[in-house]
Amino acid sequence: MTETSFPAEKWRLLITPPADGATNMAIDEAIMHALSEGKTVPTLRFYRWEPPCLSLGYNQHFADVDIVACEALGYTWVRRPTGGRAILHTDELTYSVITRQTDPRVAGGVVASYRRLSAGLLTGLQELGAVAVQAEGNMPKNPRQGAACFDTPSHYEVTLNGKKLVGSAQVRRKKMVLQHGTLPLGGDITRIFDALAIPADEKAALSRDLLARATTLEREMGRTVSFAAAAEAMARGFSRALRLELAPAPLSDYEQTLAEHFRATRYTADEWNRRV
């Protein structure tokens, strides 16, 4: 099924206020659970992180975090429900898609669904004037690939001028699909190494590698794009590419209660964050 043949569908558009990492991850999971229970609708969400937060992939070892440095910098850290490696969330737009596994936009395997959903990302970037593409084939291996997510693009991810721009990850539970990802709008992407447990003498080389392989929208476009402008353009992109009617609506009281539960019992708990 091509993007143009998707059946038209109405989803919720949810733009939440800036929140800490534990809250952001709890909200994504709350929506997924509520949808599995038939108590909400498929959702496209855009959000920000305050304070800046280092997120670890589901199976990444928490020893990768330099906890003392994070505290000194005013960063928090959290474990995502999705895979991949560490991301420092700041100066960015984060998106999440939560829908049923039967939705043709996410049907089939994980990579196939990444490719379909990336059509929304690519179209949204075009709305901003950025001609991004999906990486084809396997990207060159980074010999120093380590704990940071953006140091090597995967073959399905969104690149701009040959550098990774959008990193995404996915989890499937309760016959639902949650995919979220990050679009760096600006700032210094090498700041992540200040938050990771990496020998000081390796950080300069890792920073050079990262700048050669990953980028921000501002760096490539030569202008600043605000969160609001990026969210508006990406919403139009998802709507056009995936045949969605996006209706703005807030979290329900039930979703808010679930989010508070998941935040308290999972995303702020050592049993979750330090489980690996």
pLDDT digits over 22-59, tens only? 999 999 999 999 999 999 999 999 999 999 999 999 99
Cα diameter, the chain? 54
* Terminal alpha carbon distance of the chain: 39
pTM of the prediction?
A: 0.93
How large is the average pLDDT for residues 161-175?
95
Distance, CA of 122 to CA of 124 (rounded, Å):
5
Which pLDDT does position 5 carry in this prediction? 79
Round the average pLDDT of the chain to a whole number and report it. 93
In tens, the pLDDT along 111-165 reads: 899 999 999 999 999 999 999 999 875 455 545 455 565 555 556 789 999 999 9
Confidence of residue 1 (pLDDT cuts 50, 70, 90): very low
DSSP H helix total and E strand total for the chain: 8, 11
- Which residue is catalytic, options 25, 54, 132, 149? 149
In tens, the pLDDT along 179-231 reads: 999 999 999 999 999 999 999 999 999 999 999 999 999 999 999 999 999 99
Percent of the chain beyond pLDDT 90?
A: 88
Reply yes or no on whether 53 is catalytic.
no
Distance, CA of 166 to CA of 160 (rounded, Å):
9
How large is the average pLDDT for residues 89-97?
98
Task: Please answer whether residues 188 and 214 qualify as being in contact, where contact means their C-beta atoms are separated by less than 8 angstroms.
Answer: no
Which pLDDT does position 232 carry in this prediction? 98
Task: Please answer whether residues 155 and 136 qualify as being in contact, where contact means their C-beta atoms are separated by less than 8 angstroms.
Answer: yes
Distance, CA of 204 to CA of 17 (rounded, Å):
35
Per DSSP (E only), the strands in the chain are: 9-15, 43-47, 53-56, 76-79, 87-89, 92-100, 133-134, 158-160, 163-173, 176-184, 244-248
Q: Strand pairing of 92-100 and 176-184? A: antiparallel
Domain boundaries, the chain: 3-271
CATH homologous superfamily of 3-271 equals Bira Bifunctional Protein; Domain 2 (3.30.930.10)
